[in-house]
């Protein structure tokens, strides 16, 4: 399926066009991030909704502030997924939006993921947007592709198109941006592990393993 996905997308566009380090890790501690206890696809924390994947009792929580059009974010997506598989119940993932102004389609991609979330498919859209970043990031009309992705995920496309314009989707993205601003964040990907900011040099599979290991050891020592 993945092998033929680019051809499917190109065909869809054509049809529519025609028709219309552990020490550094410990040193970079920032104020605690508010993460709800719920461990569902979209968990409510007060009036805020957070995208969470993993067990509530996981000893380590990885929070990513990401931009779907950011190439380093896309590169990091697969290593993070592999770490989730590797650590199973010991690792919980949280995603927050930080679309950068220099990425033309980043905000629309964030809204597309929120529209998918309203039909219970946030993480599926999250993975698809990163996997197909090189395709949609160059498209003249990303909404066409996003609707095609929604169809591939089995979403109600009419509802998806309505939700991507909704105030609810916009408020979700804005909420994450406000938290990023409060933390002084300006780049993506930015990752925290148990409230410790991971240095940029460690944003790879091996570096994150070191940070996760340090967080687990810290839990044991406590």
Q: Enumerate the domain spans of the chain.
A: 2-221
Residue 113 has what DSSP assignment?
H
Structure-block tokens of residue 161 = 């198109």
Question: Pick from 152, 74, 162, 63: which is nearest to 118 by CA?
Answer: 162
Give the pLDDT score at 72: 98
Give the residues of the chain that fall short of pLDDT 70: 1-49, 222
pLDDT in tens, 120-130: 999 999 999 99
Terminal CA-CA length for the chain = 47
CB contact at 8 A, 113 and 68 = yes
Give the pLDDT score at 50: 82
Give the DSSP letter string of 152-203: HTT--HHHHHHHTTSHHHHHHHHHHHHHHHHTT--SSSEEEETTEEPPGGG-
Structure-block tokens of residue 97 = 């939006």
Give the pLDDT score at 16: 37
The residues that bridge with 95 in the sheet, in sequence order, are: 51, 64
Give the pLDDT score at 218: 85
Q: To the nearest 10°, the Cα dihedral for 173, 177, 180, 184?
A: 170
Fold for the domain defined by 2-221: Glutaredoxin (3.40.30)
């Amino acid at each position: 399926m993945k092998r033929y996905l680019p051809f499917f997308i190109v065909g869809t566009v054509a049809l529519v066009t025609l028709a219309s380090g552990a020490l550094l890790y410990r040193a970079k501690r920032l104020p605690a991030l508010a993460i709800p206890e719920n461990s569902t696809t979209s968990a409510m924390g007060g009036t805020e909704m957070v995208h969470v994947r993993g067990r509530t009792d996981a000893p380590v929580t990885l929070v990513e502030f990401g931009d779907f059009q950011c190439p380093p974010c896309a590169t990091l997506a697969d290593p993070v997924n592999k770490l989730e598989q590797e650590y199973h119940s010991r690792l919980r993932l949280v995603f927050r939006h930080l679309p950068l102004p220099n990425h033309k389609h980043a905000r629309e991609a964030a809204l597309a993921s929120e529209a998918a979330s309203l039909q219970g498919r946030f993480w599926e859209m999250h993975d698809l947007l990163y996997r197909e970043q090189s395709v949609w990031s160059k498209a003249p009309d990303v909404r066409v592709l996003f609707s095609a992705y929604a169809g591939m995920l089995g979403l109600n496309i009419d509802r998806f198109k309505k939700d991507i314009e909704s105030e609810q989707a916009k408020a979700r993205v804005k909420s994450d941006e406000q938290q990023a601003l409060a933390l002084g964040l300006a780049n993506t990907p930015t990752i925290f592990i148990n409230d410790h900011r991971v240095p940029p040099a460690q944003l790879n599979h091996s570096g994150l393993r070191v940070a996760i290991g340090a967080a687990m050891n810290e839990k044991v020592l406590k």
